[in-house]
Structure 1
Amino acid sequence: MIKAILTDIEGTITRISFVKEVLFPYAAKQLPDFVRANANNTLVAEQISAIKTLIAQPNADLELVISTLLTWMAEDKKITPLKQLQGLIWQTGYQQGDFSGHIYPDAYRFLQQQQQAGRQLYVYSSGSVKAQQLIFQYSDFGDMRPLFTDYFDTQVGAKQQSSAYENIISQLPFAASEVLFLSDVTAELDAAKNAGLQTLHLIRDGQANSPAHNYIDDFSQFTTEHLA
């Protein structure tokens, strides 16, 4: 019996285009000035240091760091210091009302229903925990953060590696078989299944489903059978 739900964000409960067409361009435009203006801020300085380590250039100047970040963004790299900085930039955008966090209406209703039914809800996304909390704090449906028990990002591991899901389960009061993972990415579902979690594939944009996982097109198709 499923006692908790672990959900991806992009392509699962929010449309991919929101991230690709709103959040990413905003961060790319703001990033150079943001990094220059906040280089001495503790949180930003930690990410700059991590980037220098990743590129094996401890003496890299700020412009090289910025150039590296912009390249990683253009290549959609899932690199933790980049995600941390994006989250800090997006915070400003949300607070200024430049955009709100898109959530599918059916996903919002589903999450409400599951929490009301007593299941704990968790989030696992390649975006930083800060970025996750922002999309829910400033969502189209208001502040959704009370729905969730905890959040996980790539600091627990890459989403296509089973060890990441094992790390998450080690922090939850549930067995892996009692947790249902929701995602639109087959490789993530495969990794979660290999770690012992139950899985459900969200097919939002006509992509092919995998025979290894149950699937639905939207949450109106979710039934009690998916909780068995």
Structure 2
Amino acid sequence: MSLRFDVDAVVLDIEGTTSATGFVVDVLYPYARERFGELLAARGAEPEVARAVDQVRAEIGEPGADAARVEKVLGEWIDEDRKATPLKTLQGILWAEGFARGELVSHFYPDVIEVLRRWHADGVRLYVYSSGSVAAQRAWFAHSPEGDLLGLVSGLYDTVNAGPKQESGSYRAIAADTGDAAGRLLFLSDRPGELDAARAAGWRTAGVRRAGEPYADAEFGDHVQVSGFSEITLRARNSS
């Protein structure tokens, strides 16, 4: 089965869509957890780190929380899989450095990279919208198993510069930023709530149902579904 969309741009979720959630949970989460203490102790005065720490204190209602307490909270949030902005910021700092040092290499499903290259060559612009920070997204695409893929991507969005992923206003903000008409944007995600929000903003949507992923058995309603990117054919306005 192949689905065809006449669109100018595709916005990609990462976890469960382009890449395995298990890699994030089993590799990236422990990598960051092991390094939070050192980051907070040695670099707590850096503006981005200090701002994230203040956000953690504000969220837990403890303005005087010390580094040990903040580290404990971050670990609890990881266990809860909580999409908290300061957690994503601090994880993103550590992951970006790990990728840059060659200690980490990102994961992509086998069908993804080849298809993304084809879509890009065909004139379809590609964007990323993930709960992971922009810094983490940039590192992820720059350090793939097939090298630097950032040249394929026209923009990166997270919960800071776009907003929560299950709110339609976030998708309107992205469309305004890219300059695309809502109906010419396609969002690919494994999470029905995100697809609902994108469609409420007027976007085209497709659910990605990959075996073994946490949302593989979710109810996608009337969103069209695929099991991989190779099942999607795109045609941009400027395609021949």
Q: TM-score, normalised by structure 1?
A: 0.94
1:221 equivalent among 200, 220, 231: 231
Q: What corresponds to 1:203 in structure 2? A: 209
The alpha-carbon deviation at position 97 of structure 1 amounts to 2.0
What are the superposed Cα offsets for residues 172-201 of structure 1, whole Å, 9 maximum, x if unpaired?
A: 111111000000111110111111100011
CA distance in 1, matches of 2:154, 2:224: 25
Instruction: Extract unaligned runs of 5+ from structure 2.
Output: 1-5
Q: CA RMSD in A?
A: 1.7
Q: Per the alignment, in what secondary structure is the counterpart of residue 83 of structure 1? A: helix
Q: Is the 8 A contact 2:123 2:236 kept in 1?
A: no
Counterpart residue number, 1:168: 174
Q: Is the 8 A contact 1:201 1:209 kept in 2?
A: no
**Contact 1:32 1:66 survives alignment (8 Å):** yes
What TM-score, normalized by structure 2, do the two folds share? 0.90
Deviations 1:78-122 (A, max 9, x none): 011110100111122212322201112311111111111111111
What amino acid sits opposite 2:228 in the alignment?
D
| 1:209 Cα deviation after fit | 5.2
Aligned mates of 1:165, 1:211 — CA distance in 2: 20
Does the residue aligned with 1:97 lie in a helix, a strand or coil?
coil
* 8 Å Cα contact 1:50-1:81 kept in structure 2: yes
Confirm or deny that 1:33 pairs with 2:38.
yes
What SS class does the counterpart of residue 187 from structure 2 fall into?
strand
Between the aligned partners of 1:15 and 1:64, the Cα distance in structure 2 is 31
How far 1:132 sits from its partner (Å)? 0.4
Q: Secondary structure at the match of 1:149?
A: strand
Q: Write the letter of the residue equivalent to 1:195.
A: A
Name 1:11's counterpart in structure 2. Answer: 16
Secondary structure, aligned partner of 1:154: coil
Deviations 1:132-189 (A, max 9, x none): 0111111111000010011000112111111111111121111111000000111110
Give the helix-richer structure, 1 or 2: 1
What does 1:22-101 correspond to in 2, within 5 Å? 22-101=27-106
CA separation of 1:224 and 1:165: change in aligned 2, threshold 3 A: closer
Name the amino acid aligned to 2:217. Q
Out of 104, 110, 129, the residue aligned to residue 105 of structure 1 is 110
What number of residue pairs does the alignment pair up? 227
State the SS of the aligned residue for 2:65: coil
Q: CA deviation at 1:207?
A: 2.4
In 1, Cα distance between the equivalents of 2:27 and 2:83? Answer: 18
The AA in structure 1 aligned to 2:43 is N
Residue in structure 1 matched with residue 187 of structure 2 by the alignment: 181
Matched, 1:212 2:187: no
Partner-residue secondary structure (3-state), 2:111: helix
Letter in 1 for 2:173: N
**SS at the partner of 1:223?**
strand
Q: Deviation of residue 68 (structure 1)?
A: 1.3
CA deviation after TM superposition for structure 1 residue 208, in Å? 4.2
